[in-house]
Amino acid sequence: MEPVILSNIPFNVNIELLMKRIRLKKDNSHADDFRHLVEEAQAIARPKAMYRPVYIESKDDDHVVLEGVSLKSRILKVNLENAYRVFPFVTTCGMELEDWARAKEDMLLRFWAERIKETALHSAIGLFNKYVSEEFSIEKKSTMTPGSLEDWPIEEQRALFEIVGNTKDAIGVELTESLMMKPVHSVSGILFPTEVNFESCQLCQREKCPGRRAPYDEDLYDRRYSK
Ligand code: SF4
């Protein structure tokens, strides 16, 4: 199937919540500067997502083939055991905010602008998840991202981008030679329907990770993924 582009993603910042997150009190003398910055960002932000509904062509012990492209990951293969159609995707805060933030010379404004970009990325991820769930009547789903686990390393970004399509022209996201995404506030991965909830964090031992979404489960790999 052809790639789908979501470019009309609403971006409404909950200013009070974001101020709490960055520990900026309402009565701080910089609070109005922050509000002004958010208004500026909201006027230009265009968070986006691009995904491609694809059927699984084949699987073996630790490979899955989509659109003629082989992805190497034992965990991905097991997670897709009962799936027949999956959704490789790239979501982003958008180049509009990237360029806007880069032009800020003041360190504090730059820091705030980065947090606003994160919020825009979350808007894109949220809308993409909602859209795919509704469009394809998916009740339970999980995602996997190349580079989040040793089993599916960052090098697999090349294959993932090959499947999704020309993200640079469509949504402005470029995969660099060092396999970073530009804008950096972008997330790529595969969304898949599943009855068994999966988070990479369950298999990740990194301590004190601010992004942790689930506790580390030291037996999970042996229980579910070992051959
Ligand atoms: S714990 Fe942190 S580093 Fe590990 S997979 Fe989760 S978010 Fe990524």
Helix (H) or strand (E) segment spanning residue 79: helix 74-79
Task: Identify the architecture of domain 48-93+122-225 in CATH.
Answer: Roll (3.10)
Q: Which residues contact 125 (CB under 8 A, 6 or more apart)?
A: 49, 91, 187
Report which protein residue has its CA nearest ligand 1's atom 5.
Answer: 201
User: Closest ligand 1 atom to the C-alpha of 203?
Assistant: 5
User: Amino acid identity of 115?
Assistant: R
Helix (H) or strand (E) segment spanning residue 88: strand 85-92
DSSP string across 177-208: TTS-EESSSEEEEEEEE-SS---GGGG---TT
pLDDT of residue 99: 97
Identify the residue whose tokens are 């922050």.
Answer: 34
Verify whether ligand 1 is closer than 6 Å to residue 209 (CB atom). yes
Q: Which residues of the chain have pLDDT under 70?
A: none
Verify whether ligand 1 is closer than 6 Å to residue 212 (CB atom). yes
Instruction: Output the CA 39–ligand 1 centroid distance in Å.
Output: 31
Strand partners, 49: 6, 91
pLDDT of residue 1: 83
Verify whether ligand 1 is closer than 6 Å to residue 200 (CB atom). yes
pLDDT of residue 115: 96
Instruction: Output the CA 102–ligand 1 centroid distance in Å.
Output: 27
Q: Which of 208, 209, 213, 220 to mutate to test the pocket of ligand 1 (most atoms within 8 A of CB)?
A: 209
Report pLDDT digits (tens) over 27-42.
999 999 999 999 999 9
